[in-house]
Amino acid sequence: MINAVLFDFGGVILTSPFEAFNAYERDNDLPLELIRTINTTNPDNNAWAKLERSDVSASEFAALFEQEAAALGHRLDGSAILGLLSGDLRPEMVEALRRIGEAGFKTACLTNNFVAHDDRGSGVDSADPERAVALREVMGLFDAVVESARVGIRKPEVRFYEIALEALGIEASEAVFLDDLGINLKPARAMGMTTIKVASADQALTELEEVIGLKLR
């Protein structure tokens, strides 16, 4: 029986940053998918991984990311890349999250994030006050929030998922997990979770409604 729904944040609750990556690449005459290529090269110990584990500051990340781009023969602005990650809230996903909680399911947010502005914040705050309020309200809907920047490990490390299950007091078989990256779903599925790869909000909610038997729209 499914008793809990676990959500990735960026690319699930928020729109995907991949479109912003592609726009930056087009605007700067860079190969499409260059940023994702850098992010998936040496994925456990590259600049991106170090940032999401809080092993480096935002400024240190920018320098390292630029070095990784240079190794592939390209120049880009590492600080500008961080600015592409904000995304927009998907109202249909927020409404689904509300309905899921009201129906008695446990919920958790499992996010690989980073500390913004070299502080110890959550990594989801924004310079836009209204946006910051909206994000805090959404995060407040979750029973548990597991952030890579705070726990020092990240998806797809198995321990990251274990922390979420422990926080909710459930077994893996009781959870369904939504993420837009297959690499993050693979260990969750191996642990016994039901998984949904998010290609679009509509597709994901259709699949989730079938899994938990609840109308979400």
pLDDT given at position 42: 94
Alpha-carbon distance of 68 to 20, in angstroms, equals 19
The model's pLDDT over 130-167, given as tens digits with 9 standing for 90+, comes to 888 999 999 999 999 999 999 999 999 999 999 999 99
**175-179 and 194-197: which strand pairing?**
parallel
Same domain? For 170 and 95 the reply is yes
Which pLDDT band, with edges at 50, 70 and 90, does 75 fall under?
very high
Q: Are residues 118 and 196 in the same domain?
A: yes
- Say which CATH number the domain at 69 has: 1.10.150
- Asked if residue 102 and residue 67 are part of one domain, the reply reads no
- 151 is a domain residue: yes
- The mean predicted confidence, pLDDT, of the chain is 93
The whole domain housing 129 covers 4-16+88-212
Beta-carbon count within 10 A of 67 CB: 11
Q: Which of 36, 56, 82 is the last residue of a domain?
A: 82
Q: Is 170 helix (H, G, I), strand (E, B) or coil?
A: coil
Q: Two tokens at 52?
A: 């999401």
Q: What is the pLDDT of residues 191-217, one digit of tens each?
A: 999 999 999 999 999 999 999 999 999
Distance CA 36, CA 52 (A): 15
101-126: per-residue pLDDT in tens? 999 999 999 999 987 644 433 344 44
pLDDT at position 128: 76
